[in-house]
A and B are shown apart, each in its own frame.
Chain A
């Protein structure tokens, strides 16, 4: 117990900072992922031939070890937060893209036909029909992606990105379990809290009519 108190008095403020850094890297990467993958997912539903190919390629990239990707970015972008964020961004894309694509593709064709027949433009169909109906699936992808990113962001420390990974790796290198714990526990708590929060967001953005329908079913 004493050691815990001691650890906190020595490293408490640094830990807070590293937690903030960790969250920052993950969230920026996830935001970039959302901004990129949601529109791309929607576009891909319009070009099914390309969609299959893109999904395949992304699936393959996803299987590359994270270390390899990080290492790959060092000669291109150097070290620091930016390459870490970019690498994580790559990882966030696939779950969001896949869910956006399946979500939007899963919207009943009769609804699209009704929309088109009543005179919606392509954009109005996306805005009033496809996105609202696909939002639960898209959000599930985002949630999954962000929670993963918080875990993976540990690796950012490797290329000088900072974050809680710093503690874990120095703990591993120096055989100091308290550092490993000081890194791993906040990461886990962060991931759980984020999941909880995004669950709330998911519920909040899901249109009321769909929630009611699900309850009724």
Chain B
């Protein structure tokens, strides 16, 4: 849907910011541009909506050369999200979200309706519509910034380090939310970032740039497994290369397949006994079909044992899980970042199939430091 053909940009003063760039992006693809500061990411992106005009070469959207289009019209068909968020402080959230629609001369009532509808996508209540940007947190503001870019149902969205100004935890949750949103809405996204973790997490393909040129353009997995050259390797960083070792790829391969479980009808004293027997401090609760329903731990039993008898009375159903074919590197990051002790592993139907504990992580790190062969030898010794 988007195609760069021999595109170059030379700024006044002779700086060649982008140099003979060729790239084709499919509809629905999530593309991340990454590279050192000044390598031309922003320039490349802004040429797509003609905020910057290419010096040489052409850019095509759906086969049409953008230089033959009216720039204002073109921009209204492309969503645009910037790092500084750029919500208008004098407009309500509703007005901010639906501003493009106003430019497109939608009637007031339809604009309201659309803003309301969009707000649901990011789990904000309708009372936010009448608030002003300064009344929102940074993360909420950027959610609105994203909605604004979706308002006219633009098929293509450009984002220049949209989460760069947010704190790491907010950034993490926005990334996840956004990735889900993108899958659901099937947008083509061009996303500029500095952050390799972000790129790996979000992108279908990563474009690594240096000095105005593409060094490598591949899926995150291919880049991690086969970096094109030393520059890419350096850029990815050693620790990520280690995590990407092909033999420890999905969670299923590293999980403990026999988590300690209990069904909801058991009594709490049985639960405590089971914990003692297996030397664990929490139990995963599954029904007779092995579907994960929640967990209990020793503190919960201690607090509630006077009032409750059965496991089902105290089970906590808010539980974070991963699917068995999730990549290990994503799980590792989550466990470490959220400080979790373990993560249950489920299949697509939410059947419990295993558990990843901090102990499993130790194995991975151990493997990556000493390699598997020696691990085997050590276990023989042990």
Interface, chain A (partner B; CB < 8 A): 108, 110-111, 113-121, 124, 128-129, 132-133, 207-210, 212-213, 216
Q: Is B75 an interface residue (CB 8 A)?
A: yes
Closest Cβ of chain A: how far from B73's Cβ, in Å?
Answer: 7
Point out the residue from B87, B103, B158 that lies within 8 Å of A119, measured CB to CB: B103
Please determine whether B75 and A118 come into contact, CB atoms closer than 8 angstroms: yes
- Taken residue by residue from 51 to 75, chain B's Cβ proximity to chain A (1 for < 8 Å, 0 otherwise) reads as 1000000000000000000001111
3 closest A-B pairs by beta carbon, nearest first, are A114-B86, A119-B76, A207-B90
Point out the residue from B82, B85, B87, B103 that lies within 8 Å of A120, measured CB to CB: B103
Please determine whether A119 and B90 come into contact, CB atoms closer than 8 angstroms: no
Which residues in B have their C-beta under 8 angstroms from that of A118?
75-76, 80, 99-100, 103, 148-149
> Bound complex: CA of A132 vs CA of B109, how far in Å?
23
Please determine whether B100 and A209 come into contact, CB atoms closer than 8 angstroms: no
Closest Cβ of chain B: how far from A100's Cβ, in Å?
Answer: 17
Please determine whether B103 and A124 come into contact, CB atoms closer than 8 angstroms: yes
> Bound complex: CA of A79 vs CA of B77, how far in Å?
59
Q: Is B133 an interface residue (CB 8 A)?
A: yes
Q: Is B92 an interface residue (CB 8 A)?
A: yes
Point out the residue from B88, B100, B134 that lies within 8 Å of A216, measured CB to CB: B134
Please determine whether A119 and B92 come into contact, CB atoms closer than 8 angstroms: no
> Bound complex: CA of A108 vs CA of B72, how far in Å?
21
Q: How many residues of B are counted as interface, with CB atoms below 8 angstroms from the partner's CB atoms?
A: 30
Closest partner residue, chain B, to A121 (CB atom): B72
> Bound complex: CA of A133 vs CA of B88, how far in Å?
9
Point out the residue from A116, A207, A212 that lies within 8 Å of B134, measured CB to CB: A212
Please determine whether B82 and A210 come into contact, CB atoms closer than 8 angstroms: no
Closest partner residue, chain A, to B90 (CB atom): A207
Which residues in A have their C-beta under 8 angstroms from that of B90?
132-133, 207-210
Please determine whether B49 and A117 come into contact, CB atoms closer than 8 angstroms: yes
Point out the residue from A110, A121, A132, A207 that lies within 8 Å of B84, measured CB to CB: A110
Q: Is B91 an interface residue (CB 8 A)?
A: yes
Closest Cβ of chain A: how far from B257's Cβ, in Å?
Answer: 50
> Bound complex: CA of A110 vs CA of B164, how far in Å?
15
> Bound complex: CA of A212 vs CA of B90, how far in Å?
9
Which residues in A have their C-beta under 8 angstroms from that of B86?
108, 110-111, 113-114
Could you list 19 A-B pairs, sorted by A, with CB under 8 Å? A110-B82, A110-B85, A113-B51, A113-B82, A116-B51, A117-B75, A118-B75, A118-B76, A119-B75, A124-B103, A128-B88, A207-B90, A208-B90, A209-B92, A209-B133, A209-B134, A210-B89, A212-B132, A216-B135
Please determine whether A209 and B89 come into contact, CB atoms closer than 8 angstroms: yes
> Bound complex: CA of A110 vs CA of B89, how far in Å?
12
Interface, chain B (partner A; CB < 8 A): 49, 51, 72-77, 80, 82, 84-92, 99-100, 102-103, 132-135, 148-149, 158
CB contact under 8 A between A128 and B132, given known A114-B86, A118-B75, A118-B80: no
> Bound complex: CA of A120 vs CA of B133, how far in Å?
20
> Bound complex: CA of A117 vs CA of B99, how far in Å?
12
Which residues in A have their C-beta under 8 angstroms from that of B91?
207, 209
Please determine whether B73 and A119 come into contact, CB atoms closer than 8 angstroms: yes
Choose among A133, A207, A216 the residue with the greatest number of B CB atoms under 10 Å from its CB. Answer: A207
Which residues in B have their C-beta under 8 angstroms from that of A133?
88-90
> Bound complex: CA of A30 vs CA of B101, how far in Å?
37
Closest Cβ of chain A: how far from B239's Cβ, in Å?
Answer: 34
> Bound complex: CA of A216 vs CA of B158, how far in Å?
32
Which residues in B have their C-beta under 8 angstroms from that of A110?
82, 84-86
Choose among B49, B82, B85, B86 the residue with the greatest number of A CB atoms under 10 Å from its CB. Answer: B86
Which residues in B have their C-beta under 8 angstroms from that of A129?
88
Closest Cβ of chain B: how far from A18's Cβ, in Å?
Answer: 42
Choose among B99, B100, B158 the residue with the greatest number of A CB atoms under 10 Å from its CB. Answer: B99
Which residues in A have their C-beta under 8 angstroms from that of B133?
209
Given contacts A114-B87, A117-B51, 14 further A-B contacts (CB under 8 A): A110-B82, A110-B85, A111-B86, A111-B88, A113-B51, A114-B80, A116-B51, A118-B75, A118-B99, A118-B103, A120-B103, A128-B88, A133-B90, A209-B91
Which residues in A have their C-beta under 8 angstroms from that of B87?
114
Which residues in B have their C-beta under 8 angstroms from that of A119?
72-77, 100, 103
Closest partner residue, chain B, to A206 (CB atom): B90
CB contact under 8 A between A209 and B75, given known A111-B88, A116-B51, A118-B148: no
> Bound complex: CA of A133 vs CA of B51, how far in Å?
23
Which residues in B have their C-beta under 8 angstroms from that of A216?
134-135
Point out the residue from B51, B89, B100, B158 that lies within 8 Å of A213, measured CB to CB: B89
Which residues in B have their C-beta under 8 angstroms from that of A210?
89-90
CB contact under 8 A between A213 and B134, given known A110-B82, A119-B76, A132-B90: yes
> Bound complex: CA of A115 vs CA of B72, how far in Å?
11
Please determine whether B76 and A114 come into contact, CB atoms closer than 8 angstroms: no
Closest partner residue, chain B, to A124 (CB atom): B103
Which residues in B have their C-beta under 8 angstroms from that of A111?
86, 88
Please determine whether B75 and A116 come into contact, CB atoms closer than 8 angstroms: yes
